[in-house]
């Protein structure tokens, strides 16, 4: 069996394992380790690598934001931050059809502006909004779909863990990527609200009761009541763009601020603190284990030369740059179905980035790199909510055990359609992504 074939076979084996409910990180770990063993004909390389790779992956500086953002999400939930955000959004949107679902999206966007993790945003907002949505008669499908999609605003609206990883892989400026992500992130929130609108128009019985319409005076009063959250938002973003700390350090500052607000609001009990830590422990270990598995699987794939051959093949075809871009993004949509998003970006950026940078889109190299980064971010985010494997789907489903998997999948489809349309618009008009960046710098 040639190495290329081995690479492709491993992909099939990996998918089979994942479908047989073997944990995803474990499946990648095994495929990577066994694959390397086969390809090098010896256990020495993989055993040597394992001496350091677990520690070095778990101690990665950029990834240290993951547990910090997760913990911050917990502080925010227990400290009432996410609840207050949700109430504020409800005051503005609750009277519309599907308004509570739209309010959830709005609150997710607000929370996403201080938190960089999709999973943390989904889990935190679900704790508050899921019971509210269900109590007000929203269907399981719409409730879970809304929260899974809303959670992605955690990475779509800066700061964003995925952008940190993209910047690390491609040696781009993280702060510039954050600025560029801003407008597409807002567009995502609006797109999701439109998706909800259309969903409830088609399925009127799935959207629950309407809330009374609030006068504007009350709506602005509600905004004022979230002053401490707005302050934290300003401190985190101002700190990053003002040069006081790095985006990585911002996660620690954000967690610190969230803890302060939680304490100032009503205090956290020791019991709640313990639960917050347990949640963070389980979710962090899960993510880091997937990254570790992806590291091993990636180095095996590199050994097979499959990524290199694929890149060479694309260049050889000599296609129009826009066709190449479309093919890559469609590939992300397809891969995002069965694959985990973090491993997907770790796997593909080393292949696709050089291909894209070698093509002409009428943009200077740095802008091209940033624009492509945002497009990748959005595609990856679709992976988080596209069945059957999607981190946010898992998180939401684990919190809404009464909703069958099939309903969760059905509920998320309108949001995926909204994602696809938005991606197409952002591909066609790079200026949407780049204008704010050009204006700031």
Partner 1 sequence: FAQEVTLRLHQFLPAQANVPKFVLDPWADKVEKDSGGRIKIERYPAMQLGGKPPELMDQAIDGTVDIVWTLPGSTPGRFPSTEVFELPFMMTNAEATSRAYWDIFNSKMKDTEFKDVHIIAAWVHGPGLIHSREPIAKLDDMKGKKLRAPTRIVNALLGQLGATPVGMPVPAITENLSKGVIDGAVIPWEVTTALKVAELVQNHTEFGGDHALYTTTFVLAMNKARYDALPDDLKKVIDDNSGADVSALFGKTQAGTDAAGRKVAVDAGNNIIELSATDVEPWKTAAQPVMDNWVVEMQGKGVDGQALLDEARTLIDKYTQK
Partner 2 sequence: MILPRIVEWLARALAIVGGIVLGVIIVLTVVSVTGRALIWAGFGPILGDFEIVEALTGFAVFCFLPYCQLMRGHAILDVFTNMMGPTVVRAIDAFAEIVAAIVLALIAWRLTHGFVDKFRNGETSFIVQFPMWWAYAACLLPAYVSVATAILTSARGVKAALSGRDLLPEHHGME
Pick from 94, 95, 100, 85: which is nearest to 132 by CA? 100
Binding site for partner 1 (CB under 8 A): 42, 44-49, 51-53, 56, 60-61, 167-168, 171, 173-175, 240-246, 295-296, 298-299, 302-303, 305, 350, 354
* 110 near Na ion, judged by CB under 5 A: no
* 347 near partner 2, judged by CB under 8 A: no
Contacting residues for 143 by C-beta, under 8 A, at least 6 apart: 101, 129, 130, 133, 134, 400, 403, 411
**Closer residue to partner 1 in complex, CB, 155/179:** 179
Structural tokens at position 199: 């969903």
* 370 near partner 2, judged by CB under 8 A: no
Residue 283: other Cβ atoms inside 10 A = 22
Look at residue 173 and give the partner it binds from partner 1, Na ion, partner 2, none, a contact being a CB closer than 5 to 8 Å depending on partner kind: partner 1
- From candidates 16, 194, 198, 277, binder to partner 2 by CB under 8 A: 277
CB of 433 closer than 8 Å to CB of 426: yes
Q: First vs last Cα of the chain: how many Å apart? A: 52
- From candidates 7, 32, 35, 67, binder to partner 2 by CB under 8 A: 67
Distance (Å, whole) CA 433 – CA 58: 33
Pick from 154, 14, 167, 132: which is nearest to 72 by CA? 154
Look at residue 157 and give the partner it binds from Na ion, partner 2, partner 1, none, a contact being a CB closer than 5 to 8 Å depending on partner kind: Na ion
Find where tokens 């489809």 sit: 413
Residues in the chain: 441
String marking each residue 134-173 x if it binds Na ion according to CB under 5 A: --------------------x--x----------------
- From candidates 386, 397, 418, 433, binder to Na ion by CB under 5 A: 386
- From candidates 112, 208, 257, 414, binder to Na ion by CB under 5 A: 112
CB of 266 closer than 8 Å to CB of 79: yes
Site of interaction with partner 2 (CB under 8 A) = 18-26, 29-30, 33, 47, 50-52, 54-56, 58-61, 63-64, 67-68, 71, 123, 239, 244-245, 249, 252-253, 255-256, 259, 274-286, 288-290, 340, 387-389, 391, 394-395, 397-399, 401, 405
């Amino acid at each position: 069996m040639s190495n290329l074939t081995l690479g492709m076979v491993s992909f099939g084996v990996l998918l089979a394992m994942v479908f047989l409910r073997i944990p995803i990180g474990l499946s990648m770990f095994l495929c990577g380790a066994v694959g390397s063993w086969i390809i090098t004909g010896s256990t020495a390389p993989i055993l040597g690598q394992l001496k350091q790779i677990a520690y070095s992956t778990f101690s990665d500086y950029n990834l240290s934001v993951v547990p910090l953002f997760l913990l911050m999400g917990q502080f925010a939930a227990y400290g009432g931050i996410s609840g207050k955000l949700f109430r504020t959004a409800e005051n503005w949107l609750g009277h519309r059809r599907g308004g509570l679902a739209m309010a959830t999206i709005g609150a997710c966007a607000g929370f996403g502006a201080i938190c960089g993790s999709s999973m943390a945003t989904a889990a935190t907002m679900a704790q508050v909004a899921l019971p509210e949505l269900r109590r007000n008669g929203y269907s399981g499908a719409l409730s879970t779909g809304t929260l899974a999609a809303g959670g992605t605003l955690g990475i779509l609206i800066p700061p964003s863990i995925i952008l940190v990883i993209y910047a690390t892989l491609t040696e781009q400026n993280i702060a510039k990527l954050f600025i560029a992500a801003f407008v597409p992130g807002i567009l995502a929130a609006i797109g999701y609200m439109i998706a909800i609108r259309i969903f409830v128009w088609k399925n009127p019985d799935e959207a629950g009761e309407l809330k009374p319409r609030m006068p504007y005076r009350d709506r602005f009063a509600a905004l004022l009541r979230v002053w401490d959250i707005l302050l934290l938002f300003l401190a985190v973003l101002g700190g990053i763009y003002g040069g006081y700390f790095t985006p990585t350090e911002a996660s620690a500052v954000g967690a610190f601020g969230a803890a302060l607000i939680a304490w100032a609001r009503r205090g956290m009990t020791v019991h709640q603190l313990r639960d917050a830590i347990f949640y963070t422990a389980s979710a962090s270990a899960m993510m880091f284990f997937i990254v570790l598995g992806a590291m091993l699987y990636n180095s095996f794939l590199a050994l097979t030369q499959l990524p290199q051959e694929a890149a060479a093949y694309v260049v050889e075809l000599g296609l129009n740059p826009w066709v190449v871009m479309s093919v890559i993004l469609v590939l992300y949509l397809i891969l995002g179905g069965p694959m985990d998003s973090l491993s997907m970006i770790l796997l593909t950026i080393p292949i696709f980035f050089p291909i894209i940078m070698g093509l002409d889109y009428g943009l200077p190299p740095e802008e091209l790199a940033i624009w492509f980064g945002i497009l990748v971010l959005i595609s990856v985010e679709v992976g988080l909510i596209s069945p059957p494997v999607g981190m946010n789907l898992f998180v939401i489903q684990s919190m809404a055990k009464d909703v069958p998997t099939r309903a969760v999948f059905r509920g998320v489809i309108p949001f995926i359609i909204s994602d696809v349309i938005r991606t197409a618009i952002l591909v066609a008009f790079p200026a949407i992504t780049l204008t704010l960046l050009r204006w700031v710098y």
